[in-house]
Amino acid sequence: MDAKVLTTSFVNLHCKGGAGSSVRLLYAESFFKFDGERYYKENRNDTGGELRGVEDIYHPSGGDENYSPSWFRTFRFIKLKVVTGANPVTIYPIRLTETRYPLVDRVEFSASKPWIKPVWDVSLRTLELCMHESYEDCPFYEQLQYTKDTRLQMLFTYALGNDMDMQKKTIHDYHTSLLPEGILQSRFPSKYTQVIPAFSLHWIFMLEDYHQETGDTSLLERYRPTMESILAWYKRNTGPSGLVENLDYWDFEDWTEAWADIAGVPRATLHGPSTIHNLVYAYTLGVAASIMKVLGISSLQERYEREREEILNLVESSCFDANKQLYKEGPKFVEYSQHAQVWAVLTDLATGERAKTMMQAVLTDDSLIPCSFVNQYYLFRALEKAGMYEQTEQLWNLWKNLLAWDLTTIPEIPGKYTRSDCHAWGSLLLYELPRKFLGVSALTPGYEKILIQPMALYLNEMSGEVPTPKGKVRVKWWIKDGHFAIEGFTPVVAEVVLPNGDRQEVLGEFEFSCD
């Protein structure tokens, strides 16, 4: 049976009679095929292959009865198998009650590019199905709230203009996972302890995100000791080189093919410090310094800024390959990834023309280990910071390909060897469309002042409304014969940035143009 879309639903089985029978319900996201070595998936409407998933097995008592599992099931397909005993059994149509967090999509838009609306719908459905009593990495497998996944899901939720309840709860969830040694668990709530050290750094990003969206400093003050504990844990794991290394836990970074045999861990960690991990750590020290500045704690602000510079200087002196103009994966390990270059740009270790050259290599050098869906947000941000946002146009092919395969949600990784069919870390359009296509974001915390800067000019035109805590911002822009024009409405003072660099301060209705 085909639900036509992936769903998270309570299942109700109504049957009559059939004492001694068994009714088996197998729930699967898709059909699998086998290439002799691995199972894989292709077009989700292709029903050739094998359904693989989890089962409910029900034994009717012989009466007129309903069976419903006590927890929701995740599936697109259900395989029903009935084995009768001596008595016949009647199976009535199966009823589904879909369940998810009451996410409200308040972004409205109109786009001429035909791929945008279907990718938006697929992205939105993915986020919806990865939110129940908490955020989830995926609804079919773990159903666990993982930090790196969740930080992105929270950003996407903010961009949609939904309430802040889930985000505040999530920040507190991770805070309560703090271990005595000073590091957070990488998934929580969870019965079993698991630590991915870098995921604790992404929790610190959540604090900065929340403050930027709301202007509320109370959470920064409330969780400041936890942030300090995490950074102190990292400081204690500094090796002889002055870089952090040998973190002992699961040093996951990305589900990329080159690191598949070591569970997504940069191979450099087997030989000493990892450039990626040290750059993410340095970036986090910068975030922490900003938080301390907001809280007026100058001594810790200065300390974190100093430690950040020390890490960056060591990465520059020991990991930069002057011949390739790229950062290798570690001081003692020669391998190159998109990830290291992305974080070099995000930390301002690479700026100006050097950053552009580096990001051009990221887009064109196939020898670099690529970012999968989980790191696309950071790749987009690095291109934006290097002044190359227009180059993100080619990256959307990863999502357009999903439409060709008739996916109704975004899978864990691109390609046919994905495990989960529903991973909201890939719902990137939910962020890019309101924040970069329409260009509406907070210029100051809490949207006391708004930035309006459309960046995806390769779309040629875009219009819509973006919710903010101060009210909806309306934007319409278009390009004709090389001439850019923009008009709209802002409920509070906003700064409109035109493609030629001109900046205009506005309130209420506005209209500008440039060549």
Encode pLDDT of 309-326 as tens digits: 999 999 999 999 999 999
Burial of 395 (0-12, 13-18, 19+ CB in 10 A): middle
Number of H helices, E strands in the chain: 12, 20
- Considering the domain architecture, whether residues 24 and 61 belong to the same structural domain is answered as yes
- Per-residue HEC secondary structure of 358-398 comes to HHHHHHHCCCCECCCHHHHHHHHHHHHHCCCHHHHHHHHHH
Residue 280: per-residue pLDDT: 98
- Per-residue HEC secondary structure of 423-457 comes to CHHHCCHHHHHHHHHCCEEECCHHHCCEEECCCCH
Q: Quick check: bond before 189 cis, omega within 30?
A: yes
Nearest to 333 by CA among 278, 256, 263: 278
- Considering the domain architecture, whether residues 306 and 382 belong to the same structural domain is answered as yes
Q: Is residue 315 part of a domain?
A: yes
pLDDT at 100 over 80: yes
- Considering the domain architecture, whether residues 375 and 306 belong to the same structural domain is answered as yes
Residue 431: per-residue pLDDT: 98
Number of domains in the chain: 4
Taking CA 146 as the corner, what is the angle to CA 29 and CA 69, rounded to the nearest 5 degrees? 45
Strands 450-452 and 483-497: parallel
Strands 333-336 and 461-466: unpaired
- Considering the domain architecture, whether residues 11 and 87 belong to the same structural domain is answered as yes
Q: How confident is the model at residue 163 (pLDDT cuts 50, 70, 90)?
A: confident
**CA gap 432, 383 in Å, rounded:** 13
- Considering the domain architecture, whether residues 56 and 71 belong to the same structural domain is answered as yes
Helices of type H across 263-351: 275-295, 298-319, 338-346
Mutual orientation of helices 397-404 and 116-129 as an angle, nearest 10°? 80
CB neighbours of residue 434 within 10 Å: 28
Q: What is the pTM of this model?
A: 0.96
Residue 227: per-residue pLDDT: 98
- Considering the domain architecture, whether residues 400 and 377 belong to the same structural domain is answered as no
Residue 378: per-residue pLDDT: 98
pLDDT tens digit string along 110-128?
999 999 999 999 999 999 9
pLDDT tens digit string along 273-288?
999 999 999 999 999 9
- Considering the domain architecture, whether residues 30 and 69 belong to the same structural domain is answered as yes
- Considering the domain architecture, whether residues 279 and 383 belong to the same structural domain is answered as yes
Partners of residue 67 on adjacent β-strands: 13
- Give residue 36's Cα distance to chain centre: 32
Q: Do residues 135 and 150 touch, judged by C-beta distance below 8 A?
A: yes
Q: In Å, what is the CA distance from 464 to each residue of 86, 285, 474?
A: 63, 36, 6
Q: In Å, what is the CA distance from 327 to each residue of 123, 198, 275, 354?
A: 33, 19, 8, 12
Q: Is residue 257 part of a domain?
A: no
Structure tokens belonging to residue 305? 């800024």
Radius of gyration of the chain (CA): 25
Residue 104: per-residue pLDDT: 85
Per DSSP, the three-state class of 223 is helix
Q: Is residue 187 part of a domain?
A: no
pLDDT tens digit string along 442-460?
999 999 999 999 999 999 9
Q: Do residues 458 and 412 touch, judged by C-beta distance below 8 A?
A: no
pLDDT tens digit string along 23-52?
999 999 999 999 999 999 999 999 999 999
CB neighbours of residue 500 within 10 Å: 8
- Considering the domain architecture, whether residues 331 and 396 belong to the same structural domain is answered as no
**CA gap 398, 270 in Å, rounded:** 30
Q: Is residue 48 part of a domain?
A: yes
| Element at 9 (helix H, strand E) | strand 2-17
Average pLDDT over residues 120-144: 96
Q: How confident is the model at residue 395 (pLDDT cuts 50, 70, 90)?
A: very high
- Detail the DSSP E strand segments found in 183-272: none
The mean-pLDDT minimum among 54-63, 161-170, 291-300, 365-374 falls in 161-170
pLDDT tens digit string along 360-393?
999 999 999 999 999 999 999 999 999 999 999 9
pLDDT at 427 over 90: yes
The mean-pLDDT minimum among 101-105, 155-159, 181-185 falls in 101-105
**CA gap 63, 84 in Å, rounded:** 14
Q: Do residues 505 and 494 touch, judged by C-beta distance below 8 A?
A: yes
- Considering the domain architecture, whether residues 284 and 383 belong to the same structural domain is answered as yes
Nearest to 45 by CA among 98, 97, 6: 6
Nearest to 452 by CA among 476, 478, 479: 476
- Considering the domain architecture, whether residues 93 and 120 belong to the same structural domain is answered as no
Q: Is residue 31 part of a domain?
A: yes
Q: Do residues 124 and 65 touch, judged by C-beta distance below 8 A?
A: no
Average pLDDT over residues 41-70: 95
Q: Do residues 41 and 30 touch, judged by C-beta distance below 8 A?
A: yes
pLDDT tens digit string along 212-247?
999 999 999 999 999 999 999 999 999 999 999 999
**CA gap 511, 508 in Å, rounded:** 10
Burial of 267 (0-12, 13-18, 19+ CB in 10 A): middle
The mean predicted confidence, pLDDT, of the chain is 96
Residue 40 sits in a domain whose CATH number is 2.60.120
Q: Is residue 111 part of a domain?
A: no
- Considering the domain architecture, whether residues 404 and 469 belong to the same structural domain is answered as no
* Structural domain for 420, as ranges: 116-130+390-428
**CA gap 372, 515 in Å, rounded:** 37
b (16+ CB within 10 A) / e for 288-308: bbbbbeeeebeebbebbbebb
**CA gap 78, 2 in Å, rounded:** 7
Percent over 90 (pLDDT), the chain: 97
**CA gap 355, 326 in Å, rounded:** 10
Q: Is residue 296 part of a domain?
A: yes
Residue 267: per-residue pLDDT: 96
One-letter identity of residue 451: L
Residue 105: per-residue pLDDT: 81
Q: Is residue 239 part of a domain?
A: no
Nearest to 100 by CA among 66, 73, 125, 128: 128
**CA gap 176, 203 in Å, rounded:** 12
Q: In Å, what is the CA distance from 311 to each residue of 280, 294, 329?
A: 10, 23, 15
